[in-house]
Chain A
């Protein structure tokens, strides 16, 4: 192999390497943003404080106000045909603690 052949081989090898490197360009977009950026509190606070704060931290025993999103309802005077009647011994999921009317 003469010097010309070596030169051609070296050039071909270098070109192939460059082409290979250019085939997978680096990217800043992670495949899973949630984990790549680290799980973060969207409101900027520390993790673990993003849930609903229990209302039993309110002071006083009778003056707690309520922020329940539910609307005023009238008494359930429906008969047993009510579709929402569930007083058959079931154990309901406990609703959010809130102030009562003492």
Chain B
């Protein structure tokens, strides 16, 4: 019985490792995707206004479903596809952080946009994560393939962006990328994550864009 139940888990882990490694190698060797322009533009503005306060930061491009990690000086360290909230939208429903997952409707599964002070933390299972918005229970974490029907690993590996919307609001990152870039930058200290909006202009979410450098 144990062998029967263990086999899918082992296969899942193996698939997760393969997907993570392939994504990591792609992010390290492939030419910068077009989305990097938006992220670089925002990163330059962040550094010019010192909005990150000398902390490492990341930019999440929801439209292209990618995360870009920068060091304290705004140098790009790495980027990766991510999984985002199922629903399009830039705000969290009030009180959603207090609700059980089963009571969150599909249209409420948004990844909020804006500027977030991050902090390292742990979820209810004890996994180390990076809190994006603790009160709204939004975090950045290694992708979890616990619900097979969601096909999260496959969604991350596919070239399509449209199928990267599956989570309840959290930002899912390939495990290898998380360990190589997210954890060193944001996993042991406070940082900043800028989530680019998808329904409004960036200036409406980032006040520092209106400040002179």
Point out residues on A near B: beta carbons under 8 Å.
55-56, 58, 61-68, 70-80, 84-92, 94-95, 97-102
Contacts and interface: CB of A to CB of B under 8 A. Distances in A.
Given A56-B124, A89-B55, A72 B97 contact: yes
A72 B136 contact: yes
Contact of B98 (A68, A80, A97): A68
A70 B144 contact: no
A89 B54 contact: yes
A78 B115 CA distance: 8
B114 interface: yes
Given A76-B114, A80-B50, A90-B189, A66 B208 contact: no
Given A61-B146, A73-B135, A77-B205, 11 more contacts: A56-B126, A62-B147, A63-B101, A65-B100, A75-B205, A79-B207, A89-B55, A95-B121, A100-B131, A100-B137, A101-B96
A62 B144 CA distance: 9
Contacts of A102: 101, 144, 167-168, 170
B197 to A, nearest CB: 10
B100 A63 contact: yes
B96 to A, nearest CB: 7
Given A80-B51, A101-B168, A70 B192 contact: no
Contact of B129 (A63, A75, A85, A100): A100
Contact of A75 (B109, B116, B134): B116
Contacts of A92: 119-120, 189-190
Interface string B178-213: 000000000011111001000000000111100100
Given A85-B53, A97-B123, A102-B170, A75 B102 contact: no
B54 A68 contact: no
Nearest to A71: B135
Nearest to B168: A101
Contacts of A87: 52-53, 55, 57, 117-118, 190-192
